[in-house]
Amino acid sequence: MSNDSKKPVSPVAGDRPQLPSEAAAVASEQPCPECGEGVRTGMVRCWNCGAFLRPEIAEKYAEMQAKPPQVILSELPEGEAVSMGDIDDDDDEGGYVLSVPKAEPKAEAAAPVKHETSGSGDKPASSSRSASAGNDDGESHSVSTGGDVLLQVAMREEAEQKKRRKERGISLRGGARTPGGFVIYCPYGCRMEVKDSHRGMTGRCPKCRAPFLVPIDPPDYDYKERASAQAAEEAATSPTGVWTPWLQDLHLHQVAPEKLKLKPGSLEKDFSTIDVGFSAEGMLLLSLAPKKSGGLFGGGGGDKAKVEARQAVFNYLKEGKAAKDAPGSDVRLYNAEELATIRVAQPTANPAESMFAGVPVFGEKRIALQLPHREGLAPQFLSFSLSGFRKFADALESALAGLRLTAPGVPATDEFFEHKCHYLDIPIHALQHVEWYQADPDCKVELAGWKCAACGLTISEEGRKKENIGGKGGKAIAKAKCPKCSNKFGEQPLYTLASKLAQSSIGDGATSG
């Protein structure tokens, strides 16, 4: 027989006349709304996918599933004790198993059933059931005691729920069933439970004998707990309590717009020194020295007076008192909402949006921040060198997570160009944006080498001295001949930080790409 003869014949095939029974069957079918299969009219569910064919029936079914019928419990007969049985705690899925109560020996004889009759009829007014297999009405024992069994089941479920609620109070992780434990799997998938004290240790699977390693804590595990513990430890050791970090002697500028002169450095020396502290409350600004006459702000008190005033503030904050009432001539507390309005005033990406029109009034290569506006005060600005700005930005970010200050054109981190000395097998870490570091008195910049203006050949300062190129001190290096292209070397010095210069020595033999 060929394969074609095994194919089912479609009832609507056009190659032969349709039988009356087939036509009737097709006419009585309707498509399933879910899978499109033909289903006989009058059916409740589709034979193919099980979907309901009528929406009202589907809604009724969902309503019945959402509200299961309640169990009606009968009252416990007097004199009968209910045994709760034992709950099996060894179920891997966390469920429980009900044990069947042991049958107790029944009484040999039962008191005869007495019927109390009313004065006008023969029907019993009340009856007392015996503990035997049946009763006088012919009712079976399973029916007569059905309510008692259901009561036992309900009581066991209640006991199990209480036990589970108690277990949920214990800190369990990863499906572990014991406190302080967690579940891991060996390389072949065997499940086992280990404790926190086992982290970082190796073992052997008790089932398949395969070796395994208990993982250590992930980097972000219990991050909040560790962070809060670290903050509490820092507050205990910090001289200012929770107000840490604490930055001293920052430059505060008060700008009167009507007296402003748009000249480079016009406001560089018009400042007063303040201290700034950070905590979860926000930023605390304090002026420690009293004002003196002369200049826009004038000088403060002597160094001794400032040290004593600062120590008084430290002692006050260490006791946990209100920061806004701290001793000082000018005390301001900025909350997180106010600090979000701090903006960079110098340098600016668009001079047209600056009140200083892009003029570096706070000094060349300095960064200025405009503080949140306070009613009755002239515009307030803090100015920094590069290192001071980085410290302030880090402190602000540590106190108020997510708030990071950046200034256009200002290097946020130390960046270097990597070169290799032509004479010595040592690297040259050429600092980028070196002008910002040279303008910062707190940054130590050292001469690292030289670069040929014609071909780009680089030599270290140590190699230049060894080969005596450019004379003593390299003053004539601009006219010296390049060993590679024979053109004038030119004057293109390469600078680096003192810490990087210590790494570039002949002794380490390091190379750089």
Separation in Å, CA 478 to CA 208, 423, 453, 460, 488: 75, 18, 9, 15, 6
Please give the Cα distance from 486 to 204 (Å, whole number): 69
Residue 38, pLDDT score: 84
In this structure, the dihedral spanned by the alpha carbons of residues 150, 153, 155 and 157, taken in order and rounded to 10 degrees, is -140
Collapsed DSSP state (helix, strand, coil) of residue 411: coil
Residue 131, pLDDT score: 42
Q: pLDDT class for 9, splitting at 50, 70, 90?
A: very low
- What are the tokens at 98? 């009900």
Tally of CB atoms within 10 A around 334: 19
Residue 13, pLDDT score: 43
Residue 28, pLDDT score: 75
Task: Specify whether the CB–CB gap between 204 and 215 falls below 8 A.
Answer: no
Residues paired with 278 in a beta bridge: 283
Q: State residue 65 phi and psi, 5-degree precision.
A: -70, -35
Q: Average pLDDT for residues 396-416, to the nearest whole number?
A: 86
Residue 106, pLDDT score: 45
DSSP codes joined into one string, 30-75: EE-TTT--EEETT-SB-TTT--BSSHHHHHHHHHHHHSPPPPPPPP
Q: Average pLDDT for residues 158-187, to the nearest whole number?
A: 66
Burial class (CB in 10 A: 0-12, 13-18, 19+), 3: exposed
Higher pLDDT, 98 or 451: 451
Q: Give the model confidence (pLDDT) of 261-310 as tens digits.
A: 999 999 999 999 999 999 888 999 999 866 444 343 444 456 788 888 89
The segment with the largest mean pLDDT, out of 277-281, 344-348, 350-354, 506-510, is 344-348
Separation in Å, CA 187 to CA 199, 200, 209, 211, 426: 17, 16, 10, 8, 46
- Radius of gyration, CA atoms only, the chain: 44
**pLDDT above 90: residue 68:** no
**pLDDT above 90: residue 27:** no
Query: Who contacts 406 (Cβ-Cβ below 8 Å, separation ≥6)?
Result: 344, 393, 412
Query: Who contacts 113 (Cβ-Cβ below 8 Å, separation ≥6)?
Result: 127, 128, 130, 135, 136
Please give the Cα distance from 183 to 195 (Å, whole number): 9
Q: Average pLDDT for residues 332-358, to the nearest whole number?
A: 90
Residue 39, pLDDT score: 82
Collapsed DSSP state (helix, strand, coil) of residue 152: helix
Lowest-confidence segment of 114-123, 162-171, 317-326, 346-355 by average pLDDT: 114-123
Burial class (CB in 10 A: 0-12, 13-18, 19+), 493: middle
Separation in Å, CA 461 to CA 27, 414, 424, 504: 99, 21, 10, 10
Higher pLDDT, 156 or 75: 156
Q: Give the model confidence (pLDDT) of 375-387 as tens digits.
A: 888 999 999 999 9
**pLDDT above 70: residue 325:** yes
Q: Average pLDDT for residues 228-245, to the nearest whole number?
A: 73
Comparing C-alpha atoms, which of 173, 377, 371, 429 is closest to residue 257? Answer: 377
Lowest-confidence segment of 62-71, 139-148, 150-159, 407-416 by average pLDDT: 139-148
Please give the Cα distance from 212 to 151 (Å, whole number): 49
Residue 72, pLDDT score: 58
- What are the tokens at 38? 């033909």
DSSP 500: H
Residue 333, pLDDT score: 93
Q: State residue 458 phi and psi, 5-degree precision.
A: -120, 140
What percent of the chain lies above the pLDDT cut of 70? 66
Q: How far apart are the first and last CA of the chain?
A: 78
